[in-house]
Structure 1
Amino acid sequence: MDETAPMPHEPPPNAASGTPTREPLVFLHVGDLHLTTPDARNADDFRAILDQIAAIAPRHLFDFVYLPGDLAENGWACEYAILADALARHPQLPVRLIPGDHDRQQGAMDDFQAFHAGLVASRALEPPRIWTLDQPPVGSPVETWPTAEIPHYCACEDIRGVRCLFVDIVSPGYGRKGIGLDFRLGPHQTLWLSEALVRAAEDGVPVAVFMHAYPDDLREPDDRADVGGLFWEAGVRLVEMGHTHYNELAHDGRTLYAAARSVGQNEDGSVGYAVSAIDGPVTSWRFKPLDRPWPFVLITSPADRRVATRPTSKRNTGMKGIKRGRIKVRAVVLSEVPPKYVHCRAGTGAWHLMTLVTGRVYEAWLPWPKGASEIQVEAVHPDWKGHGPDLVDTDVIEPVTVFDDPDLALSIPTKPGSDVPRVDAWPEKGVRGDQLGPNRAGRKW
């Protein structure tokens, strides 16, 4: 690696000119917070994460910050006050959030509702949808099911051409102490979700779902299969979740399930946040440790073979090349200043300079030699002195090189919407693969 930036390569032959280049959806996922007191380590870490995110420049490099629930350890107003104060330090930061089971830890969500109401006004969040649900009888000799009006913190937004569905699996539950995890959707939200997926298919837009846990964690077995099967049949591109407390990727051939480690309770290495992108037909994900200095780079196209949509083709994996054996490589770079340069290479081949082609995407037509199996993209900070690993960041993928028969018919998973098809350890993406945490390994905190 030389201190001097590489020279730009010649433009690819027959490259289209004047064609608008799309901007990918890019969001940052800060995992379960479990806030308790203002001076706790996780509160300090969360404030540091927000400070780092707010320093990203220019601001339009990402679309929003996602908080997947379990914001407060006990669901108390004093805990939400910590979160409100941290967010107030960054009033321009776009935030999307949903509740988790700890936000109903005491069997009620009054304090969460009050906190969320403040964000509806200050952050332009959608207000909850109020649906009437049956509630189980309590202490009645006659089994009558009273009804109650239940706020559901679900929302539908189109962002960068992606339909983003925020799904609340906590509020529709019964919230009884001793019942354990009580994840539900409720009939109204289930119908809303199904109709939203049908409309997305009619509109021809990709879908990303944001919820607290895997569909397989829903309390009712029929709901587990129905929702997981719905996502699979609809071809939902990405389901982004918390709850696990560890970084995990699971891919069933159509949908990538991605969980990011908890800020508040975790045994999964450095605290930080995940960066996700949907760039045309390609979905990508990588974890950013808080203690790793800028820059941070994420390859957004082509797709890595482990998370590519099947049946794979050159088009839906981003491997559609042009003459002379070149493929288009795209990446986003997050930093507090623009990088000195960004370049890419195939395997250990020559580096090729990448060009900023939109407000957030670097791109190059990379020569792809026969037998190549890896793409690296490296971003270099302007303060890098030409030696040492700091201020230089690299993302690595293994693109699809053997493609499926286009008539390949995928079988629905035996446990749709579960972690069964999880990807093994993938350290380059921040995935350890050991499932350390309270919700799979049974760890106690």
Structure 2
Amino acid sequence: MFAFAHIGDLHLEAATDPNVADLRAILAEVARLHARDLIDFAYLPGDLAEDGTAAQYAVLERALDDHPDLPVRLIPGDHDRQFGTMTAFDALFARVAGSARGGAHAARRNTLPRPRDPACVTQYYYAETINGVRCLFLDTVSAGYGEKGFGLDFRLGPRQLAWIARKLAKARAAGRPCAVFTHVYPDDLRVPEERAALAGLIRDAGVRLVEMGHTHYNELAPDGRTLYAAARSVGQNEDGSVGYAVAAIDGPAVSWRFKPLDRALPFAMITSPADRRLATASLDAPDGRIEVRALVLSTADPGDWTCRVRVDDGLPHPMIPDGPRSVRARIDWPEGARRLSVEIADGTVNPRTGAPNVDRDAIEPAGRLFTPPPVPERPGSDAFRLPAWAQKGVRGDQLGPNRNGRHW
């Protein structure tokens, strides 16, 4: 099972700001989970520094230095090229992404168009296979003009677009599942031809997951083939409790859920079967039974876990460990059943109340006659986003500055 933590846009400024304390707390929790082989890496989706300055990136580096064994994958956002230069980001990328903890990737020099002239800029895109999934990390930030709030938009450029096409085609030929990591929806790209090309490549290759920042709110937009998922910002907290998103690919199923920092571990997420809202195929239950798997995030010993699965309001069935990060059970799925829920207790207690720490996740599996929706009118956009889904931490109201013009 492929699983990672998505730590949303940071917008770091001063070391004493509240979002820095939040970042440090998130990194500490995620690092403990990685140390137990429960997640593969932490993803930072761009807009790491509010103004892209060396002093702001130094705040991030000091926080990352506290957890040198935590793998990190990062990309740039528009705020990272706020003043048209990427000198400070380039140094950060070389130290983090260029190191073993970041996958040992190098920046590339390419020419990007501007409204009036081309410019040779550094781009930060790369690919690697992580736990069986081919991962493409993209750079969607344009060249800009060096003036804050002016001239920045989202572009790929011809070289990066051709590179994406080659990487996805090769992965598809090899039968390897793919995930794409980017700062924005493909529909946010400035050039219509790039918009259509990227969305088409993603759909044609059957990319399972596109994980994004930029929105400042949690959002899920499945198109019947690919789940587009955006996670809220750590830097501007319009969307409730700060935290991080957890996403997983388990066989053909993709799952996603937000983990609030103020809610104690354990954390449970059903990874198979897929929920009907995220499904790409019918439920596999040829003999009236289904295999249920769930990701469990806990710093307690698995021997102390108590895991149970329930169909609708029926009796609970025990689940057993299936490797270090998941549990499983094979259960009856009666005709007409609708809801599947998993409950995890890990033996820890709330120090204030003395009550056991317990977490629950629930889904509604796709039916046996699932029909994928037609190709959306605006592929690669938020036009087909889901409404509120409290179980997954999705409010459905698009709070934040980037869709409705809300000021930070």
1:128·1:151 contact (CA, 8 Å) conserved in 2? Answer: no
The reply on whether 1:84 has 2:61 as its aligned counterpart is yes
Give, in angstroms, the shift of residue 179 of structure 1.
3.7
2:217 is the counterpart of 1:251: no
Q: Does 1:375 align with 2:340?
A: yes
Q: Given that residues 345 and 366 in structure 1 are in contact (C-alpha distance below 8 angstroms), is that contact kept between their aligned partners in structure 2?
A: no
Q: One-letter code of the match for 1:173?
A: A
Do the aligned partners of 2:154 and 2:190 also contact (CA within 8 Å) in 1?
yes
Counterpart CA distance in 2 for 1:236 and 1:350 is 37
Cα distance in 2 for partners of 1:57, 1:179 equals 40
Query: Equivalences for 1:288-437 in 2 at 5 Å?
Result: 288-309=259-280, 312-313=281-282, 319-321=283-285, 323=287, 325-337=288-300, 338=302, 339-384=304-349, 391-404=357-370, 411-437=374-400
Correspondence 1:230-309 to 2 at 5 A: 230-309=201-280
User: Unpaired segments of 5 or more residues in structure 2?
Assistant: none
Structure 1 unmatched ranges of 5 or more: 1-23, 139-144, 314-318
Superposition deviation, residue 78 in structure 1: 0.7
Question: 1:412 offset after TM fit, Å?
Answer: 2.8
Alpha-carbon distance in 2 for matches of 1:134, 1:268: 34
Shift of 1:175: 4.3
Deviation at 1:224, TM superposition (A): 1.4
Q: Write out aligned runs for 1:5-404 (5 A).
A: 24-56=1-33, 59-119=36-96, 120-121=98-99, 123-133=101-111, 136=114, 145=117, 148=120, 150-170=121-141, 172-177=142-147, 178-309=149-280, 312-313=281-282, 319-321=283-285, 323=287, 325-337=288-300, 338=302, 339-384=304-349, 391-404=357-370
What is the CA–CA distance in structure 1 between the aligned matches of 2:192 and 2:113, rounded to whole Å? 19
Report which structure shows greater RCO (CA 8 Å, sep ≥6). Answer: 1
SS in 1 for 2:403: coil
- Structure 2 CA distance for aligned equivalents of residues 415 and 209 of structure 1: 18
Secondary structure, counterpart of 1:440 in structure 2? helix
Q: CA deviation at 1:176?
A: 4.8
Amino acid in the other structure paired with 1:112: F
SS at 2:348 equivalent? coil
Give, in whole Å, the separation in 2 of the partners of 1:86 and 1:288.
Answer: 20
Q: Is the 8 A contact 1:126 1:155 kept in 2?
A: no
Question: What CA deviation, in whole Å up to 9, does each residue of 1:215-254 have, x standing for no partner?
Answer: 1111112211221122122211100000000000001111
Q: Aligned pair in 2 of structure 1 residues 136, 352: CA closer, same or farther (>3 Å)? A: closer
What is the rounded CA distance, in whole Å, between the counterparts of 2:27 and 2:112 in structure 1? 39
Q: Which amino acid aligns with 1:438?
A: P
Does the CA contact (< 8 Å) of 2:34 and 2:41 recur in 1?
no
Contact 1:232–1:412 (8 Å) recurs in 2: no
| Counterpart code for 1:116 | F
> Would you say how many aligned residue pairs link Structure 1 and Structure 2?
402
Residue 123 of structure 1: SS of its match in structure 2?
helix
User: Given the two structures, how large is their TM-score scaled by the length of structure 2?
Assistant: 0.94
**How has the CA–CA distance of structure 1 residues 90 and 57 changed in structure 2, closer, same or farther, with 3 Å as cutoff?**
closer
* Residue 135 of structure 1: how far off its partner (Å): 5.0
CA distance in 2, matches of 1:135, 1:372: 54
Counterpart amino acid of residue 14 in structure 2: T
Tell me if the contact between 2:127 and 2:135 (Cα under 8 Å) persists in the aligned partners.
yes
For the Cα contact (< 8 Å) 1:214–1:418, is it kept in 2? Answer: yes
Which secondary structure does the structure 1 equivalent of 2:37 belong to? helix
Structure 1 length-normalised TM: 0.86
| SS in structure 1 of the partner of residue 203 of structure 2 | helix
CA distance in 1: counterparts of 2:25 and 2:35, whole angstroms? 19
Give, in angstroms, the shift of residue 356 of structure 1.
Answer: 0.5
Paired amino acid for 2:403: R
SS at match of 2:258: strand
**Take 1:392 and 1:166, find their aligned partners in 2: how far apart are those partners?**
35
Quote how far apart the aligned CAs of 1:322 are: 5.5
- What's the offset of the Cα at 1:390? 5.5
- Supply the AA of the counterpart residue of 2:310: R
Residues 137, 327 of structure 1: CA spacing in aligned structure 2 closer, same or farther, 3 A cutoff? closer
Give 1 or 2 for the bigger CA radius of gyration.
1
Identity of aligned residues (%): 54
List per-residue Cα deviations over 1:255-286 (Å, max 9, x = no partner). Answer: 10000000001310100000000000000000
Between the aligned partners of 2:115 and 2:209, the Cα distance in structure 1 is 37
